[in-house]
Structure formats: structure tokens, C-alpha cells
Amino acid sequence: ISRFSPVDRLAARAALGLPADAAILVSVGGLVPRKGFHRVIEVLPDLARRYPSLVYLIVGGPSAEGDNRAELESLVARLGLGERVRFLGTKAPQELSPILSAADLFVLATSNEGWANVFLEAMACGLPVVTTDVGGNREVVRDEQLGTVVPFGDAAALAGAIATALGRTWDRGAIRAYAEQNS
């Protein structure tokens, strides 16, 4: 809670060079297949038809598990998403609040997690979460006021949950309060 807190959304977007009216997704984690950045990238073309200003921010870099940034960049290029996907690199914890606050939704289409602290970090900034039903994700994103948990490997469910979440008005104060209870 002391490291992660909401900052002014418009100021955060301006600092990152993002449009004020864009629909912005963010993911944070090591750039490895397990984290599922590729699964989010794959559903972006369909989402962009509904949300023409859609931007996806990817925060992270190499980890002990590897580094698949080249593969992710290749996928972005193949799908023609170069203007929509931004690789922000590795960031220190104190650099994340403005990035998280600039976004509308935190997304992690992971194949394996324990208790993902990154969800609580995003929630501490008032962000709802869309994630996959693996590991302890359902324990963290425990009700629909915090986000949506979708079946792993179901691209249509992932895209649908993201679209629904982007179109919904969230109680960001309640999301932050939940994170405060789990600090």
C-alpha cells in the first residue's frame, strides 16, 4: 500500500505519451510464455475493432525463466499491432504506480501462479483485473467487484471479459480498499 497507490490518470497518461481517451490495458511480469502476454496480444485485433483507441502496455523483462520478448515483438508485428502494443521494459516498484494508474484494466493470461502479488499491486492503484483460472488467481480476484477470472486457454472468454471490463464502471475505491485489507 505504501509503494502502490493511485495517481491522477490524465497526468499519468500524459507522462507516458498516451491519449487521454484511449482504452488502456496493462500487464506486468517476466517476459516468459507462462505469463501469457502472447495470449493477450492474440485477442487484441478483435478488441481493437470495438475499442479503436486500444493500447496494451507490457511492463517486464527477462527473468530466471527466460526472455521471449523477441517472440512477442514478432507476434505484434505479424498481427499489425505495432501502434497498439508498447514494451516498457523492467521497472522498479516505485515506477509502477503511474503506469498502473494510467491503465483501465490489468490483464494477466497466465498459465501458472501462486498468490500473485501483482494483482494486489494493480488493485492498490484502483485497477480491476482480468486473469485466468489457474493457481491462486481466483483467491485473489475473489469476486466480480474486483475483476473477472476466465478459463485458461479460452481466447473468446478472455476477449469477452476484457471487452466487458472496459465497458464497465468500476468502484476503484472499493478495489483499493480490498488491496488495503491484504497488505
Crossing angle between the packed helical segments 69-78 and 37-50, to the nearest 10 degrees: 20
pLDDT at 48 over 80: yes
* pLDDT tens-digit readout, 107-146: 999 999 999 999 999 999 999 999 999 999 999 999 999 9
Show the 3-state SS of 26-48: EEECCCCHHHCHHHHHHHHHHHH
Name the 3-class secondary structure at 178.
helix
**Can you tell me which residue has the cell 466487458?**
164
In DSSP terms, 108 is beta-bridged to 131
Confidence tier at 183 by pLDDT (50, 70, 90): confident
17 CB burial (10 A radius; 0-12, 13-18, 19+): exposed
- Mean pLDDT on 95-111: 98
